[in-house]
Amino acid sequence: MIVTITLNASLRVQYEAQRIDWGAPNRVTRVRYRAGGQGLAVARALRALGGDVVAAGLVGGATGDLITADLARSGVRTRFTAISGESRRVLEVADAQRGQTTILDESAPYITTEELGRFAADYRKLMTEATAAVLCGTLPAGLPPEIYGSLVTYAAEAGVPAIIDAEGPALSYGASRRPALVIPVPGQVDVAALVAGGVPAVAVVSDHDVHVVTAGRDWRGTLDGHSRLPGSRDALVAGLVSGVVPGWSWPDTLRHAIALGAAVGSSGEVDLDAYDMLLPEVVLRPPG
Protein backbone atom coordinates (compact mmCIF):
# COMPACT_ATOMS: atom_id res chain seq x y z
CA MET A 1 0.00 0.00 0.00
CA ILE A 2 1.03 3.60 -0.58
CA VAL A 3 1.11 5.74 2.57
CA THR A 4 0.59 9.49 2.25
CA ILE A 5 1.72 11.69 5.13
CA THR A 6 0.01 15.00 5.93
CA LEU A 7 1.35 16.68 9.07
CA ASN A 8 -0.71 19.88 8.71
CA ALA A 9 -4.14 18.58 7.71
CA SER A 10 -7.12 20.92 7.61
CA LEU A 11 -10.85 20.96 7.13
CA ARG A 12 -11.97 23.25 4.33
CA VAL A 13 -15.35 24.79 5.14
CA GLN A 14 -16.91 26.46 2.10
CA TYR A 15 -19.81 28.90 2.60
CA GLU A 16 -21.60 30.42 -0.36
CA ALA A 17 -24.10 33.29 -0.15
CA GLN A 18 -25.86 35.21 -2.88
CA ARG A 19 -24.24 38.37 -1.54
CA ILE A 20 -22.01 39.05 1.47
CA ASP A 21 -22.67 42.19 3.49
CA TRP A 22 -19.85 42.50 6.02
CA GLY A 23 -21.07 43.63 9.44
CA ALA A 24 -24.59 42.30 8.82
CA PRO A 25 -26.33 38.89 9.03
CA ASN A 26 -25.95 36.82 5.85
CA ARG A 27 -27.93 33.77 4.75
CA VAL A 28 -25.72 30.92 3.52
CA THR A 29 -27.08 29.16 0.44
CA ARG A 30 -24.56 26.31 0.29
CA VAL A 31 -22.14 24.66 2.72
CA ARG A 32 -19.45 22.15 1.88
CA TYR A 33 -16.92 20.39 4.12
CA ARG A 34 -13.81 18.76 2.66
CA ALA A 35 -10.60 17.36 4.12
CA GLY A 36 -7.68 19.56 3.06
CA GLY A 37 -3.93 19.14 2.85
CA GLN A 38 -1.69 18.06 -0.01
CA GLY A 39 -1.20 14.50 1.18
CA LEU A 40 -4.93 13.99 1.66
CA ALA A 41 -5.66 15.25 -1.86
CA VAL A 42 -2.98 12.91 -3.24
CA ALA A 43 -4.52 9.99 -1.32
CA ARG A 44 -7.98 10.81 -2.67
CA ALA A 45 -6.70 10.86 -6.27
CA LEU A 46 -4.80 7.59 -5.81
CA ARG A 47 -7.96 5.97 -4.43
CA ALA A 48 -9.96 7.23 -7.43
CA LEU A 49 -7.53 5.24 -9.59
CA GLY A 50 -8.32 2.14 -7.53
CA GLY A 51 -5.03 2.26 -5.63
CA ASP A 52 -4.35 0.73 -2.23
CA VAL A 53 -3.64 3.86 -0.19
CA VAL A 54 -3.66 4.90 3.45
CA ALA A 55 -3.69 8.52 4.61
CA ALA A 56 -1.68 9.10 7.77
CA GLY A 57 -0.32 12.06 9.71
CA LEU A 58 -1.65 14.21 12.55
CA VAL A 59 -5.25 15.19 13.35
CA GLY A 60 -7.05 16.25 16.52
CA GLY A 61 -10.36 17.24 18.04
CA ALA A 62 -13.80 17.37 16.45
CA THR A 63 -12.25 18.83 13.31
CA GLY A 64 -9.96 15.81 13.06
CA ASP A 65 -13.01 13.54 13.27
CA LEU A 66 -14.64 15.42 10.37
CA ILE A 67 -11.44 15.11 8.31
CA THR A 68 -11.39 11.35 8.89
CA ALA A 69 -15.10 11.01 8.09
CA ASP A 70 -14.77 12.95 4.83
CA LEU A 71 -11.91 10.75 3.65
CA ALA A 72 -13.93 7.63 4.52
CA ARG A 73 -16.70 8.86 2.23
CA SER A 74 -14.14 8.86 -0.59
CA GLY A 75 -13.05 5.33 0.30
CA VAL A 76 -9.68 6.44 1.71
CA ARG A 77 -8.46 4.44 4.70
CA THR A 78 -6.78 6.43 7.48
CA ARG A 79 -4.20 5.71 10.17
CA PHE A 80 -3.82 9.11 11.80
CA THR A 81 -1.94 9.83 15.02
CA ALA A 82 -4.17 11.75 17.43
CA ILE A 83 -3.02 15.10 18.88
CA SER A 84 -4.47 17.11 21.76
CA GLY A 85 -4.89 20.29 19.71
CA GLU A 86 -7.70 20.98 17.27
CA SER A 87 -6.87 20.48 13.60
CA ARG A 88 -7.11 23.76 11.73
CA ARG A 89 -9.99 24.92 9.58
CA VAL A 90 -9.81 26.92 6.39
CA LEU A 91 -12.99 28.95 5.91
CA GLU A 92 -13.89 30.02 2.37
CA VAL A 93 -16.71 32.57 2.09
CA ALA A 94 -17.97 33.00 -1.48
CA ASP A 95 -20.04 35.98 -2.65
CA ALA A 96 -21.90 34.61 -5.69
CA GLN A 97 -23.12 38.00 -6.90
CA ARG A 98 -19.68 39.62 -6.93
CA GLY A 99 -17.78 36.47 -7.84
CA GLN A 100 -15.41 36.99 -4.90
CA THR A 101 -14.13 34.55 -2.28
CA THR A 102 -12.57 35.44 1.08
CA ILE A 103 -10.39 32.82 2.77
CA LEU A 104 -9.77 32.68 6.54
CA ASP A 105 -6.97 30.27 7.44
CA GLU A 106 -6.58 29.20 11.09
CA SER A 107 -3.15 28.68 12.59
CA ALA A 108 -1.97 25.08 12.85
CA PRO A 109 -2.01 23.39 16.27
CA TYR A 110 1.22 23.07 18.24
CA ILE A 111 2.66 19.54 18.17
CA THR A 112 4.27 18.38 21.42
CA THR A 113 7.39 16.24 21.72
CA GLU A 114 5.28 13.37 23.05
CA GLU A 115 2.93 13.57 20.05
CA LEU A 116 5.86 13.64 17.64
CA GLY A 117 7.27 10.53 19.32
CA ARG A 118 3.97 8.67 18.97
CA PHE A 119 3.69 9.69 15.34
CA ALA A 120 7.24 8.47 14.62
CA ALA A 121 6.39 5.08 16.15
CA ASP A 122 3.15 4.86 14.16
CA TYR A 123 4.98 5.81 10.96
CA ARG A 124 7.68 3.17 11.43
CA LYS A 125 4.98 0.56 11.94
CA LEU A 126 3.26 1.69 8.73
CA MET A 127 6.55 1.31 6.84
CA THR A 128 6.51 -2.44 7.56
CA GLU A 129 3.38 -2.65 5.35
CA ALA A 130 4.04 0.11 2.80
CA THR A 131 5.18 0.01 -0.82
CA ALA A 132 5.92 3.76 -0.82
CA ALA A 133 5.77 6.80 1.48
CA VAL A 134 4.58 10.14 0.09
CA LEU A 135 5.51 13.14 2.28
CA CYS A 136 3.50 16.23 1.41
CA GLY A 137 2.97 19.80 2.46
CA THR A 138 3.82 22.24 5.21
CA LEU A 139 4.64 21.58 8.85
CA PRO A 140 2.63 22.68 11.89
CA ALA A 141 4.14 24.57 14.81
CA GLY A 142 6.39 22.49 17.02
CA LEU A 143 7.78 20.26 14.30
CA PRO A 144 11.40 20.78 13.24
CA PRO A 145 12.16 21.02 9.50
CA GLU A 146 14.41 17.97 9.91
CA ILE A 147 11.30 15.77 10.30
CA TYR A 148 11.06 14.97 6.58
CA GLY A 149 14.69 13.88 6.57
CA SER A 150 13.99 11.49 9.44
CA LEU A 151 10.89 10.10 7.71
CA VAL A 152 12.83 9.45 4.49
CA THR A 153 15.47 7.61 6.53
CA TYR A 154 12.90 5.49 8.39
CA ALA A 155 11.34 4.52 5.06
CA ALA A 156 14.74 3.61 3.58
CA GLU A 157 15.53 1.44 6.61
CA ALA A 158 12.35 -0.50 5.86
CA GLY A 159 13.22 -0.77 2.16
CA VAL A 160 10.42 1.61 1.19
CA PRO A 161 10.93 4.36 -1.44
CA ALA A 162 9.97 7.85 -0.33
CA ILE A 163 8.60 10.72 -2.43
CA ILE A 164 8.66 14.26 -1.04
CA ASP A 165 6.53 17.20 -2.20
CA ALA A 166 7.33 20.19 -0.01
CA GLU A 167 9.25 23.46 0.10
CA GLY A 168 11.81 25.39 2.12
CA PRO A 169 14.03 23.80 4.78
CA ALA A 170 11.69 20.80 5.17
CA LEU A 171 12.27 19.89 1.53
CA SER A 172 16.02 20.46 1.81
CA TYR A 173 16.37 18.13 4.80
CA GLY A 174 14.23 15.49 3.13
CA ALA A 175 16.08 15.72 -0.20
CA SER A 176 19.45 15.35 1.57
CA ARG A 177 18.47 11.74 2.43
CA ARG A 178 18.04 10.92 -1.28
CA PRO A 179 14.39 9.92 -1.63
CA ALA A 180 13.21 8.26 -4.84
CA LEU A 181 11.59 11.46 -6.13
CA VAL A 182 11.72 15.13 -5.06
CA ILE A 183 8.97 17.53 -6.17
CA PRO A 184 10.14 21.08 -5.33
CA VAL A 185 8.64 24.51 -5.84
CA PRO A 186 9.93 25.93 -9.15
CA GLY A 187 13.07 28.04 -8.70
CA GLN A 188 13.55 27.09 -5.05
CA VAL A 189 16.26 24.43 -5.44
CA ASP A 190 19.23 23.62 -7.66
CA VAL A 191 17.79 20.65 -9.54
CA ALA A 192 21.12 19.63 -11.09
CA ALA A 193 22.77 19.66 -7.65
CA LEU A 194 20.06 17.41 -6.21
CA VAL A 195 20.53 14.85 -8.98
CA ALA A 196 24.32 15.08 -8.71
CA GLY A 197 23.95 14.51 -4.96
CA GLY A 198 22.20 11.20 -5.49
CA VAL A 199 18.49 11.98 -5.81
CA PRO A 200 17.28 9.61 -8.57
CA ALA A 201 14.70 12.01 -10.02
CA VAL A 202 13.39 15.55 -9.56
CA ALA A 203 10.03 16.66 -10.98
CA VAL A 204 9.43 20.41 -11.16
CA VAL A 205 5.72 21.17 -11.58
CA SER A 206 5.16 24.69 -12.93
CA ASP A 207 2.02 26.43 -14.13
CA HIS A 208 2.67 25.43 -17.73
CA ASP A 209 4.63 22.16 -17.73
CA VAL A 210 6.30 19.36 -15.76
CA HIS A 211 10.07 18.98 -16.05
CA VAL A 212 11.58 15.70 -14.88
CA VAL A 213 15.35 15.49 -14.46
CA THR A 214 17.31 12.30 -13.87
CA ALA A 215 21.01 11.53 -14.18
CA GLY A 216 21.83 12.26 -17.82
CA ARG A 217 18.26 12.65 -19.14
CA ASP A 218 15.29 14.97 -18.82
CA TRP A 219 11.76 15.31 -20.15
CA ARG A 220 9.20 18.11 -20.31
CA GLY A 221 5.50 17.44 -20.55
CA THR A 222 2.70 19.85 -21.48
CA LEU A 223 -0.94 19.62 -22.47
CA ASP A 224 -1.56 20.38 -26.13
CA GLY A 225 -3.45 23.62 -26.70
CA HIS A 226 -3.07 24.85 -23.11
CA SER A 227 -0.70 27.63 -22.08
CA ARG A 228 -1.23 26.58 -18.44
CA LEU A 229 -1.76 23.12 -16.95
CA PRO A 230 -5.42 22.91 -15.90
CA GLY A 231 -6.88 20.98 -12.98
CA SER A 232 -5.22 19.89 -9.74
CA ARG A 233 -1.52 19.91 -8.91
CA ASP A 234 -2.13 17.35 -6.14
CA ALA A 235 -3.78 14.93 -8.57
CA LEU A 236 -0.82 15.43 -10.91
CA VAL A 237 1.50 14.49 -8.02
CA ALA A 238 -0.67 11.40 -7.43
CA GLY A 239 -0.09 10.53 -11.07
CA LEU A 240 3.67 10.81 -10.63
CA VAL A 241 3.48 8.59 -7.54
CA SER A 242 1.36 5.93 -9.25
CA GLY A 243 3.89 5.76 -12.09
CA VAL A 244 7.07 5.82 -10.00
CA VAL A 245 6.03 3.11 -7.52
CA PRO A 246 5.51 0.32 -10.12
CA GLY A 247 8.53 1.48 -12.12
CA TRP A 248 6.93 2.90 -15.25
CA SER A 249 9.10 4.71 -17.77
CA TRP A 250 9.28 8.48 -17.29
CA PRO A 251 7.50 9.24 -20.59
CA ASP A 252 4.57 7.01 -19.55
CA THR A 253 4.56 8.45 -16.03
CA LEU A 254 4.51 12.03 -17.31
CA ARG A 255 1.65 11.38 -19.73
CA HIS A 256 -0.35 9.70 -16.98
CA ALA A 257 0.33 12.40 -14.38
CA ILE A 258 -0.46 15.40 -16.57
CA ALA A 259 -3.69 13.85 -17.87
CA LEU A 260 -4.75 12.88 -14.33
CA GLY A 261 -4.12 16.37 -12.98
CA ALA A 262 -6.09 17.95 -15.82
CA ALA A 263 -9.00 15.53 -15.28
CA VAL A 264 -9.97 17.11 -11.94
CA GLY A 265 -12.90 19.51 -12.13
CA SER A 266 -14.24 22.19 -9.80
CA SER A 267 -15.62 19.51 -7.45
CA GLY A 268 -12.09 18.33 -6.73
CA GLU A 269 -12.86 14.79 -7.92
CA VAL A 270 -11.04 12.88 -10.67
CA ASP A 271 -13.12 12.33 -13.82
CA LEU A 272 -11.74 9.11 -15.30
CA ASP A 273 -13.60 9.61 -18.60
CA ALA A 274 -11.92 13.02 -18.96
CA TYR A 275 -8.59 11.38 -18.11
CA ASP A 276 -8.99 8.93 -21.02
CA MET A 277 -9.73 11.80 -23.42
CA LEU A 278 -6.85 13.95 -22.17
CA LEU A 279 -4.16 11.28 -22.26
CA PRO A 280 -3.49 11.57 -26.04
CA GLU A 281 -3.23 15.36 -25.68
CA VAL A 282 -0.12 15.24 -23.49
CA VAL A 283 2.94 16.35 -25.44
CA LEU A 284 6.48 15.38 -24.42
CA ARG A 285 9.66 17.07 -25.51
CA PRO A 286 12.47 14.60 -26.33
CA PRO A 287 15.03 14.12 -23.54
CA GLY A 288 17.82 16.67 -23.33
3-state secondary structure the chain: CEEEEECCCEEEEEEEECCCCCCCCCCCCEEEEEEECHHHHHHHHHHHCCCCEEEEEEECHHHHHHHHHHHHHCCCEEEEEECCCCCEEEEEEEECCCCEEEEEECCCCCCCHHHHHHHHHHHHHHHCCCCEEEEECCCCCCCCCCHHHHHHHHHHHCCCCEEEECCHHHHHHHHCCCCCEEECCCCCCCHHHHHHCCCCEEEEECCCCEEEEECCEEEEEEECCCCCCCCCHHHHHHHHHHHHCCCCCHHHHHHHHHHHHHCECCCCCECHHHHHHHHHHEEEECCC
Asked whether residue 80 carries a pLDDT value surpassing 90, the answer given is yes
**Structural contact between residues 212 and 250, judged by C-beta atoms closer than 8 angstroms:** yes
Report the relative pairing of strands 210-214 and 217-223 from DSSP bridges.
Answer: antiparallel
The full set of domains in the chain, from first to last, is: 1-13+36-91+107-179 (3.40.1190.20), 188-288 (3.40.1190.20)
Asked whether residue 95 carries a pLDDT value surpassing 90, the answer given is no
Q: Is the pTM of this model over 0.85?
A: yes
Report the relative pairing of strands 181-183 and 162-165 from DSSP bridges.
Answer: parallel
Instruction: Report, as an integer, the average pLDDT of 198-210.
Output: 94
Per-residue model confidence as pLDDT tens digits over 230-249: 889 999 999 999 999 999 99
Low-confidence winner among 96-100, 111-115, 135-139 (lowest mean pLDDT): 96-100
Helices 38-48 + 61-73 axis angle, to 10 = 20
- Whether the CA torsion 226, 232, 234, 235 is positive or negative: it is negative
